[in-house]
């Protein structure tokens, strides 16, 4: 898990003048409704120890919201986040696998509308467990690539068969921003540990224009800032061999930066190295707000059973606080979660236990106290 100094450079943009924070709560669908309240409880528990106070605003988004209102992301949700909130917690979305007229992913739309250009996903094993010694940060570009959702379907006149096209967009501006924050994170890790490596993931051997641009701009950003980041080792890795090496030798990777689609796939896959998607957090980073978001989905198969893992949300809460400029509070959350996993007394079924969401939450809260 990222520690406080790792995100020092980025956090400065979010430092607030007072100690009251307004946090939007967006449960979404499925188990999002079970884990976001756990994140809220953890934040509330920080009042006494760190003198923080929170104002929470309940907001709507997701498939159920679309079914009820006709909009997956209501305008009110975006407006409140833009005008009132320093941070937010987003749960999960249950998106249909086939096209539904008028529906599109609300988290993708949020990232675009709020300028959340980076998705920072730390994947770290807890010391003292049987997990492999994994300690990496996957920095995913968050606003473009295939996720711009410019798709079309049509009938090929020559063959009479169906065709679907999707546009993949990579821009110099977005790539430079994501390369810069990835280098900042790598630099902080270097200062902590004495070494750091940035690995740029691409498929420019096939996609020479789009992925080629991503690769070129990342290298140019590194070369242009060698006075600042020159001690960070710089590597490049084609995405298919990257997947292979990620599972064979994860200890070789430190900070990974990738376009939107590859970053999504790599970070979800990397969760298998530390036991479950239920323990992997993320932070959506933008110029005015940061949104903590667990990496798991809505898990409809276990929704309502009270056994969803709240750890990813709790860790996302800590990441959000790091970006908002409260590293000590975040550090306490990290320690409590690590202790819960290390002891192994209260674990949800995805980690091989039989505890409930509430039991895991109460154990983490007891360690915070």
Shared domain for 219 and 282, answered yes or no, is no
Range of the domain at 232: 132-273
Shared domain for 205 and 304, answered yes or no, is no
Q: Output the pTM of the full model.
A: 0.91
Shared domain for 330 and 244, answered yes or no, is no
For CA atoms 218, 222, 223, 224, the dihedral sign is positive
Asked if the structure places residue 69 within a domain, the reply is: yes
Nearest one of 252, 170, 172, 260 to 211, comparing CA atoms:
170
Per-residue pLDDT reduced to its tens digit, 236-249: 999 999 999 999 99
Please check whether residue 72 is in contact with residue 105, taking contact to mean a CB–CB distance below 8 angstroms.
yes
* β-sheet bridge partners, residue 154: 163
Q: What is the CATH number of the domain that holds 149?
A: 3.40.718.10
Asked if the structure places residue 5 within a domain, the reply is: no
Cα 295 to Cα 44, 116, 163, 190: the distances in Å are 23, 16, 32, 26
pLDDT computed for residue 8 by the predictor: 40
Alpha helix stretches (DSSP H) within 17-74: 32-50, 63-69
Shared domain for 220 and 291, answered yes or no, is no
How far is the C-alpha of 293 from the C-alpha of 87, rounded, in Å? 11
Per the structure, how many domains does the chain have? 2
Six-digit token pair at 114? 């709020």
Asked if the structure places residue 328 within a domain, the reply is: yes
Asked if the structure places residue 8 within a domain, the reply is: no
Six-digit token pair at 319? 């990441």
pLDDT computed for residue 48 by the predictor: 63
Domain termination site, one of 241, 273, 305: 273
Asked if the structure places residue 290 within a domain, the reply is: yes
* β-sheet bridge partners, residue 356: none
Shared domain for 269 and 296, answered yes or no, is no
Residues in the chain, overall count: 369
For residue 29, how many C-alpha atoms fall within 13 Å in the half-sphere facing its CB?
A: 22
Shared domain for 352 and 268, answered yes or no, is no
Shared domain for 88 and 154, answered yes or no, is no
- Tell me the average pLDDT of the chain: 92
Contacts of 325 (CB under 8 A, 6+ apart): 11, 12, 14, 15, 16
Asked if the structure places residue 3 within a domain, the reply is: no
How far is the C-alpha of 321 from the C-alpha of 333, rounded, in Å? 10
Shared domain for 32 and 109, answered yes or no, is yes
Query: Which residue ranges in the chain fall short of pLDDT 50?
Result: 1-15, 17
Domain termination site, one of 273, 298, 331: 273
pLDDT computed for residue 131 by the predictor: 77
């Amino acid at each position: 898990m990222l520690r406080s100094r790792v995100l020092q450079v980025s956090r400065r943009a979010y430092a607030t003048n007072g100690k009251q924070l307004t946090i939007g709560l967006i449960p979404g669908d499925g188990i999002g409704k079970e884990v976001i309240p756990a994140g809220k409880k953890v934040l509330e528990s920080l009042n006494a120890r760190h003198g923080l106070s929170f104002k929470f605003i309940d907001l709507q988004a997701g498939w159920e919201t679309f079914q009820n209102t006709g909009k997956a992301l209501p305008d009110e949700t975006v407006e409140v986040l833009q005008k009132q909130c320093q941070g937010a917690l987003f749960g999960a979305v249950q998106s249909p696998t086939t096209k539904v007229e008028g529906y599109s992913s609300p988290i993708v739309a949020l990232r675009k509308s709020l300028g959340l250009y980076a998705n920072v996903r730390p994947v770290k094993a807890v010391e003292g467990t049987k997990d492999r010694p994994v300690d990496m940060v996957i920095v995913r570009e968050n606003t473009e690539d295939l996720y711009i959702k410019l798709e079309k379907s049509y009938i090929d006149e020559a063959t009479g068969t169906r065709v679907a096209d999707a546009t993949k967009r990579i821009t110099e501006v977005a790539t430079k921003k994501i390369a810069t924050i990835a280098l900042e994170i790598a630099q902080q890790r270097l200062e902590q540990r004495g070494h750091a490596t940035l690995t740029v993931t691409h498929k420019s051997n096939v996609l020479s224009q789009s992925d080629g641009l991503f690769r070129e701009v990342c290298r140019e950003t590194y070369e242009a800032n060698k006075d600042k980041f020159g001690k960070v080792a710089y590597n490049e890795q084609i995405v298919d061999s990257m997947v292979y090496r990620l599972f064979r030798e994860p200890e070789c990777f430190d900070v990974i930066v990738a376009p939107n689609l590859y970053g999504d796939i790599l970070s979800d896959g990397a969760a298998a190295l530390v036991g479950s998607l239920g323990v992997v957090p993320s932070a959506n980073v933008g110029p005015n707000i940061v949104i903590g978001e667990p990496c798991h989905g809505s898990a409809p198969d276990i929704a309502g059973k009270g056994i969803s893992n709240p750890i990813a949300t709790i860790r996302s809460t800590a990441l959000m606080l790091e970006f908002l400029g409260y590293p000590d509070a975040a550090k306490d959350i990290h320690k409590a979660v690590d202790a819960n996993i290390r002891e192994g007394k209260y674990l949800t079924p995805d980690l091989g236990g039989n505890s409930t969401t509430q039991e895991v939450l109460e154990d983490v809260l007891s360690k915070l106290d």
